[in-house]
Amino acid sequence: MIYLDYNATTPLCESGREAMLPYLYEHFGNASSVHAAGREARSAIDDARDELAAFLDAKPHELIFTASGTEANNLAVLGLARASAARGRHLICSATEHHAVLHSFEYLAKNGFDVTWLRVDRNGIADLDQLAAAIRNDTTLVSVMSANNETGVLQPLAEVSSICRAHGVLLHSDMVQSFGKTNADLSLVDAASFAAHKFYGPKGAGFLYLRSGIPIEPILFGGAHENQRRPGTENVAAIAGMAAAAEWMMEKRGLEQKREATLRDQLWDSITAVAPDAQLNGSAEHRLANTLNVSFSGVSSETMLMALDLEGVCASSGSACMVGSVVASHVLLAMGFSRERASSAIRFSLGRQTTAEEIESAAAAIARVLTRVRRSQPQPVYAAG
Ligand SMILES: Cc1ncc(COP(=O)(O)O)c(C=O)c1O
């Protein structure tokens, strides 16, 4: 199997696994308990919080542990919008956000808030002029992700941040895809979301960075955990594993990014050699080193993914596939691409375990699949949604 879907999830690194094991067995206490077993668990959580905060140049109490990147995004969007509602009910969200952010804003739009959707250009980059013009007296929150999960496109967060700061508007950024791949500069934002399984940590663990002093309303109700901001018994093992994985991810970060970018570009060169009509989706320049999003014209994402799977290559599409039809990626549609192009996109995302041999084999598999599929494929049916 050749795994080229690291933006979907990554395997747990060895040090992450080691860090988790003691808290699954002998140190199983509840971190809220006052006895020795509880104190052990509490101290593991405190250590993890200190380590993660140090990597990010944040203060430990600015991190709120959650059970996923989705939850961190939901907490940021709903929690910040509601806590600022007395000041205003206008919000701005970029059109290419992950559904965990997009759907949170859509929910607010149906519940008394006014949302402006921020356009992106054909490279996938947010329209800064529109942002500056859209901010009103009652705008309280802007959300712009640092790196897109489908295309890898990096947003100009420094510019977005200075516009927000100039108008006194809070800025949240979904940094789930960029942690350990770019510099997560928290000085630019007021809140940022992270997920452990995107950086070789366990699934089911994430956190929200929230700058000191910014009020947030909880979205879950229960105990007083996480400074009354996120109730629920902490997943101690996952939190310990997440901190260890973050450390591992930070090591050799620069070299690894160069290596992955070289392999990614080799894959692109091999693809264009056999499919000169292949189209690169997203800015080639402002992009994560590990991500390649390509449209193969006339071949639906679903057909291509299934054929690649049979060849042992795991890739992905941003679009939701349903039986007999393809729903085009909202990210690619927002970039102004046709439904046909948006429904024939494949995302290859590389990671620490990707080798040059794998890239060569994947390229050969893509060539075989394209020849076969283009010879035999009936025209795909594109859904209206
Ligand atoms: C950019 C981005 N945000 C949020 C998420 C959701 O994270 P999780 O899978 O931990 O819920 C993902 C996962 O695909 C993502 O890529």
Residues 19-67 have pLDDT tens digits of 999 999 999 999 999 999 999 999 999 999 999 999 999 999 999 999 9
Ligand 1 centre distance from Cα of residue 251 (Å): 23
State how far the Cα of 329 lies from the Cα of 322, in Å rounded to an integer. Answer: 13
pLDDT at 322 over 70: no
| Burial classification of residue 145, based on how many CB atoms lie within 10 Å of its CB (0-12 exposed, 13-18 middle, 19 or more buried) | buried
Residue span(s) of the chain under CATH 3.90.1150.10 come to 2-8+252-376
Q: Which atom of ligand 1 is nearest to the CA of 8?
A: 14
Ligand 1 touching residue 69 (CB < 6 A):
yes
CATH T-level topology, domain 2-8+252-376: Aspartate Aminotransferase, domain 1 (3.90.1150)
pLDDT at 323 over 60: no
- Active site amino acids: 321
**Residue among 65, 177, 208 whose CB has most ligand 1 atoms within 8 A, to mutate:** 177
Could you report the per-residue pLDDT of 255-305, keeping only the tens digit for each?
999 999 999 999 999 999 999 999 999 999 999 999 999 999 999 999 999
State how far the Cα of 20 lies from the Cα of 238, in Å rounded to an integer. Answer: 6
Could you report the per-residue pLDDT of 195-224, keeping only the tens digit for each?
999 999 999 999 999 999 999 999 999 999
Ligand 1 centre distance from Cα of residue 30 (Å): 27
**Residue among 153, 155, 193, 198 whose CB has most ligand 1 atoms within 8 A, to mutate:** 198
14-250 has CATH 3.40.50.300 classification: no
Ligand 1 centre distance from Cα of residue 72 (Å): 9
pLDDT band with cut points at 50, 70 and 90 for residue 379: low
State how far the Cα of 154 lies from the Cα of 94, in Å rounded to an integer. Answer: 13
Q: Which atom of ligand 1 is nearest to the CA of 206?
A: 10
Could you report the per-residue pLDDT of 131-176, keeping only the tens digit for each?
999 999 999 999 999 999 999 999 999 999 999 999 999 999 999 9
pLDDT at 382 over 50: no
Residue span(s) of the chain under CATH 3.40.640.10 come to 14-250
pLDDT at 327 over 80: no
Ligand 1 centre distance from Cα of residue 199 (Å): 11
- Tell me the residue type at 322: M
Ligand 1 touching residue 177 (CB < 6 A):
yes
pLDDT of residue 377: 62
Ligand 1 centre distance from Cα of residue 372 (Å): 34
pLDDT at 362 over 50: yes
State how far the Cα of 255 lies from the Cα of 353, in Å rounded to an integer. Answer: 14
Residues 6+ apart with CB under 8 A from 49: 60, 63, 65, 239, 243
Ligand 1 touching residue 318 (CB < 6 A):
no
pLDDT band with cut points at 50, 70 and 90 for residue 253: confident
State how far the Cα of 347 lies from the Cα of 356, in Å rounded to an integer. Answer: 18
- Tell me the residue type at 196: A
pLDDT of residue 201: 98
Ligand 1 touching residue 172 (CB < 6 A):
no
Ligand 1 touching residue 174 (CB < 6 A):
yes
Q: Which atom of ligand 1 is nearest to the CA of 148?
A: 1
Contact 149, 7 (CB under 8 A): yes
pLDDT band with cut points at 50, 70 and 90 for residue 374: confident
Task: Give 255-259 contacts, CB < 8 A, sequence gap 24+.
Answer: 256/352, 257/181, 257/289, 257/290, 258/289
Ligand 1 centre distance from Cα of residue 31 (Å): 26
Ligand 1 touching residue 73 (CB < 6 A):
yes
Ligand 1 touching residue 201 (CB < 6 A):
no
pLDDT of residue 385: 39
pLDDT of residue 307: 95
Q: Which atom of ligand 1 is nearest to the CA of 71?
A: 11
Contact 166, 134 (CB under 8 A): no
Ligand 1 touching residue 66 (CB < 6 A):
no
Q: Ligand 1 atom 7: the closest Cα is on which residue?
A: 69
Tokens of 250: 């930070």
Ligand 1 centre distance from Cα of residue 3 (Å): 18
